[in-house]
Every structure is written in structure tokens, then in C-alpha cells.
Amino acid sequence: MEFSRLSAIRFFFFLSILGPFLLFASSCSRQTEERPKVSNGILDLRNWDFQRHPLLDLTGDWEYYPDRLASDGNAEEKKSLFAVPGVWLGSGYATMKLGILLPKNAPNLAFYSKGQATAFDLYVNGAKVLKSGIVGKDPVSSVPESRGSFGEWDPSGVSIAQVTLDISNFHHRFGGLWYGIRFGESSALREEVARFRDMDWFLGGIFFLTFLYHVGLFLIRRQDLSPLPFGLFCFTLFVRILVTEDKILLSYFPSFGYLTSMRLEYLTFYLSLPLGLHYLRSIYPDLFPRIWMGSFYGLGLIFSVGAFLPFPEASKAIPYYQASMFASIILVVYVLVLAVWKRKPYAIPLMVGYLILSTAGVIEVLAAHQILKTRSFLPLGLFVLVMIETFVLSFRYGDLYREKEALAEELRRINSTYSSFVPSKFLGLLDKQSVAELKPGDQVRREVTILFSDIRSFTEISESMNAKENFEFLNTYLGRMEPVIRTNRGFVEKYFGDGIMALFSETPDDAVLAAIQMQKEILIYNRQRLAEGRRPFQVGIGIHTGSSILGLIGAEGRMDSTVISEAVHVAARLEVLTKFYGTGILLSQDTYSSLKNRERFLSRKLDRIPIKGKKEEVFIYEIGDYLSDAEQEAFRNSKTGFEKGVDAFLSGRFMDAGETFREALRVYPGDKTSLLYLKRCTEQMPVVGGRLPDSDPI
């Protein structure tokens, strides 16, 4: 165990040194010796030794004749210089010329061009050596092609090679030569092209095998989704290797053509970004909010649709998505720095991998905009990241397996204890790790929020069903409510037949959110019951916050958790009052005042009632977030008038209150509470301080 951990640390440390070194070495591999460059349309190689340095790039200032092709004549008056590699913005066509002064006894030579996403013909002393697509003067006659092109030329008896390049572009946002023309001794150039192609196949094979492995993991254990996006990420990288740089896919399947290859290039770019970020979120879900992930997926899908626009419009969206890539780099750095700061597992190796990939991605973008003149290092950066991510996933699954073994052992130990049942959250409040540590008398005093819920008129509903149907109904209902409570960081402390008492120890906001989602779930369940011809039902929920004693009662043979507090009685009484007011959720003033984010809820002041143990009467509040959209809008618009009516009613100004409630009903016609208050105002009920008739303090 310790050895494997140490080995992994050494491996990540090695990669952290190797990755930047490889990037640097690759970027400098062609810069170790000064190579001749084209100057004023001339490349002087008379003193060049092709045996020592068989290959070089035809970079520099070529002669440039815009809006002319070779067949049109030289048009010397329009002659200028054009830096190769280089591009122009938009559509057009041109001729470029270069004179190469050759050494004596020059070997058999060759030219090679990667896919330029345009159409061009390259002639040497009048003989066509390279060809890509069909050069034309308009979008109809010009046919682009993005395959690489290799051609040999025999320099025997020739001292000057006059290179002429006809080029046209009407299908991309950029025209010109994106990449330089590679030139040199024929066999050496052929070997270099094959070597780069083999490297692409090697990297593509690794990405494809990694894709198969992680998709297999997902199919074996579908409840864990994390391998799936990572596998799809590797598949997009595999496809991207085939359709970028040397375009090896088109070498084997030329029928795919320019448009298909370019769209695949764009789609893999658009989709790889959110899929790569998804992996990071699967590792650190608490540091990577779901909304961020949804935003990048949304952007990727929108831009993916744009890839199917006609060309050149489809190519014009690329710079905007590159901007989102820079935003993702900032986000990734933020998440990983936070992960390192919080000492999250695997944070350091993942930071190394993403930084290497980010560096390669920035170089890729700068090269695409002709700011840097270099070969793409993105496949190398992706390779390093995928290797790190694969090792992280492997160790993560190892950790999960060991955790599973530990949990299995813990479960066996728990199963050997008494058959008592205590909620796991309750254990945490008592500062216990397992049920085996509990004993009668364990207790703690805590500030908690108590939620009481009860089905209205349950007796009538139950009388219409037999015993089996009653239990099926209750289990279905409780099975829908308990996960909602648990999702909002609460737990069910007691079931009272159709009633639920739940505790929330962190914030009152959790209890209110749970109540809202419970009411929404009941609406969904009622629609299902109506479709089955069954009777719908309503549930009242009361919520109160206060100091409570939580503990265990019973004996060693049988224990049970309990809560001792007046707060329990208050929450239960508020649940009863929901039926009187015609509301679904009621909060006490203590709960309402303790809300950390009160503005997020749709609430209103409902009444003022007496509570045992308090000298002054306290307000109660209604929550309306579970209502339909139309009802919520009416609830919100009538809130101010309704609360003015409540204040007037509590002050004994029944006539003013009645008029105010009538106005509120015009805005919210179905408001049962406004109808109740209007009735009380009309009858001028003998209330004192808003207290219900013949009611005792709760």
C-alpha cells in the first residue's frame, strides 16, 4: 500500500518535470541552429549541406501577387512580399513566388505541405509538384481540400528552382498558407512525414484504448457516471488526432472531403472542452458547481450546431469559442488551486496535467492566429493529461474498493449490535461514529429546526381503503417525502402514522426548502393518483426553530431516539393551524428570523399568535414557493396589501382591514387566507391581538 503510493508520487513528480520539458524541447527542436530563410523572394542554399541538414522550412518573405494567378501574367505593378507561413482575412486568390538557389550536386528533393484548409498548386520550374483541391477565382470554381500533399522533384542540372504557388480561398475565414512548406532531401522528408504520422497513430491509439476502457467501466457499474464523460473525452481526442495537422483520416478515406473533415475538427474542439471539464467536476464536485458545468455544455452544444453552417460562416465562430477556452483555463486553475489549498486528493498531479494542457492549448491558439510559428503541441499536452487522469482514476477506484471493504466490515459490526434504529444524522449530533457506540442516556442540547407534516383528513382517506392499500399508500407517500428531507440535509426523527417529524441541524433554510419540495412532490403524486382514479390529498407543514434536547431513551435491549423540547409542540401546533388558514406551510417567527437567505423565499406575514413560554405574541409566516406560477405571481403581487390588512386587523380596524383584504382578493382571487380574514372582519369576531377564538396559547 505504502509502496504503491510512493511510486505514484514519484510518477507524478516525473511527469511534472517531463511534460514542460517535452513542450519546451518540441518548440525548440527546429530552433537549435540558424536556418536560412526566404528574403525578398529568394532562398540562397548554394552553401547548404543537405547531408548534415537534409530538411528545412521555406519560411520568410515570398513574392506576392494578389488577385492574380500564374496564367494571368506577373503583373509586376502589384508585386509585394508575403510572410510564409501567413494568412489573409477573408476570401481571395493570389500567386506566390520563390527562387531557390541550389548547391551543386543537390540530392533528389521533395516538398511537403500539411492541410492548409484551402486550394493550391505548387509548381517548380513549370512542373506541378504539389496539389490540394482546385484553385479558382470564385467560390464555384475553387474547390478546397485539407489533406497533406507530398511531391518529389529532381534538381539534376538545375541551379535555380523557380517555385510558383497558385492559391485560392473562399471557404474559410482565413486564406493563405497556415503552415510553412517543408523542403529537403526526399527520403529524409518522407521519413519525417511518416514519423509524425506514426506519432499521431500512437497517440490516437492510446486515446481510443482509454475510451474503450472507461466506457467498459461505466457499462460494468452504471451508477457511477464519472468514467463515461472521461471516456467520451478520450474519443473526441482520438477523432481530433485524425482530422487535424496531417489529416490522416483523409489519407485513408478521401471521400470524406473538406467539409466533413473541417466539421469534425470543429465538433471535437467544441465537445472536448466540456467533457474534459466534466472529469474535473467528477473528482471535485464540491469545488465545481453544477451551473458552471451546465454553462460549458450549453456553449459546446450551441457552437456544435454552428459547425453545420455553410462555409466560411462555420469557421468564423472559432475565435469566440477560443475565448471560452481561456475562461475555462482560469476556472480550472481556480478549482485546482482551491483543491491544493484544501489538501484534496490528487490535486497536485491534476494541476500539473491541466497546466501542461493549458500551455499547449494557448500555443495552439497563438499558432492558429499566426502569432507563433510552430507545430501543434496540443496532442502532446492531451497525452500527458490523459495519462495523469488515467492514473488518478485508477487510484481513485483503488480507494473506493478499500473504502468498500472498510464499509462492509463496519456493516458486519453494526449488524451484530442490537436491532435498535437511530438516524445517522442523529449519530453525528451526538458525536458518535456508529450505533455500536450508543447507550441509553446519551444526549445533547442543540439549536435545531423542527418540521412537522401531517395528511389532512387522513381518517376519511384511510376508511376508503383496506389494510393493504393503507400501508401501500403510506409507504409510497413516506418514500417520496424522506428523500426530499434527506437531500436538504435533514433527517426523519419520527413517523407518527401519516405524520412526519424531521430535524434540521444546520440552517432553517434547509427545512423551508425541504417543505417546499415536499409540497411540490405531493402535487406530482396527486396528479398520478388522479390519473389512476384515486382521491388526491393535502398535507400541512409547520416549522419552528428552538433549543432542544436530543438523546436516547430506553434500555440496552431496545433504544429509541427522541427530542425533548417545547419546540416540538410549537411545530406540531403550526401544522394544525395550516388547515385553519388554508395554507400549506407555516413558519414561526423564530424560524423566519433565523433564515440566512430570507429573500430567496416567497413569504408573507400571516398572523400574530400567543406561544407558551413567551410573554408577547409572535408572528407566523406563510411560504408560497410551492404554488403554481400564476398563483406565485398573484401571491407576490398581493403581498403588500395582504400584510397591510393583517396589521389593520391586529390593530382592531376591521373595516379598513376588510377593504384591504377585498383588494388583495382582486389580485389573488383564490387566496383562502384573505377569504378567512374577510369573513372575520365582516363578522367582527371578538379577537384580541389576532388570537383565534377560544384558542389557548400554543
Which pLDDT band holds residue 524 (cuts at 50, 70, 90)? very high
In a shared domain, residues 614 and 680: no
Per the domain annotation, does 156 fall within a domain?
Answer: yes
Cα separation, 79 vs 309, in Å, equals 36
Do both 146 and 65 map to the same domain? yes
Q: Which amino acid is at 595?
A: L
**Per-residue model confidence (pLDDT) at position 252:** 81
Are residue 548 and residue 574 in the same domain, yes or no?
A: yes
> 638 and 562 share a domain?
no
Phi and psi of 247, rounded to 5°? 50, 55
| Pair (552, 593) in one structural domain | yes
Structural domain ending residue among the three candidates 191, 216, 251: 191
pLDDT of residue 34: 66
CATH number (domain holding residue 509): 3.30.70.1230
Instruction: Give the pLDDT band of residue 76 (cuts 50, 70, 90).
Output: low
Q: Which domain holds residue 572?
A: 424-626
Same domain, 529 and 678: no
Q: Is the pLDDT of residue 393 over 60?
A: yes
Confidence of residue 31 (pLDDT cuts 50, 70, 90): very low
Percent of the residues in the chain that have a pLDDT greater than 70, as a whole number: 79
Predicted local distance difference test score (pLDDT) of residue 511: 93
Which residues lie across from 122 on neighbouring strands?
Answer: 130, 165
**pLDDT greater than 50 at residue 424:** yes
Residues 433 and 499 in one domain: yes
Most confident of 297-301, 313-317, 335-339, 411-415: 297-301
Greater model confidence, 428 or 255? 255
Cα separations in angstroms, 672 against 371, 452, 557, 596, 675: 69, 21, 50, 29, 5
Of 626, 641, 673, the position where a domain reaches its end is 626
Residue 273's closest CA among 303, 243, 249? 303
Residue with more model confidence, 12 or 93: 93
| Number of compact structural domains in the chain | 3
pLDDT in tens, 432-458: 555 555 555 556 678 889 999 999 888
Quote the CA–CA distance of 238 and 288 in Å, as a whole number: 26
Are 673 and 596 found together in one domain?
A: no
How much is the average pLDDT of 556-585?
A: 81
For residue 107, pLDDT beyond 60 = yes
What local confidence, expressed as pLDDT, does residue 10 receive?
Answer: 45
Q: Tell me, what's the pLDDT at 85?
A: 87
pLDDT at residue 553 above 80? no
Max CA pair span of the chain: 121
Given 571, 602, 626, which residue is the final one in a domain?
Answer: 626
Residue 329 has pLDDT above 60, yes or no: yes
Task: Give the CATH number for residue 167.
Answer: 2.60.120.260
Check residue 130 and give its pLDDT. Answer: 92
Examine residue 393 and state whether it is found in any structural domain, yes or no: no
Which of 17-31, 94-108, 549-563 is predicted most confidently? Answer: 94-108
Domain co-membership, 504 together with 528: yes
Cβ contacts of 146 within 8 Å, gap of 6 or more: 115, 116, 117, 132, 247, 250, 258, 261, 262
Whether pLDDT at 104 is above 50: yes
469-523 pLDDT tens trace: 888 888 889 989 999 999 998 888 888 888 898 989 889 999 999 999 999 999 9
Structural domain contains residue 649: yes
Helix axes 257-283, 378-415, angle to 10 degrees: 40
Average pLDDT over residues 301-324: 87
Do residues 215 and 228 make contact, with C-beta atoms less than 8 angstroms apart? yes
- Both 576 and 636 in one domain: the answer is no
Whether 470 and 495 map to the same domain: the answer is yes
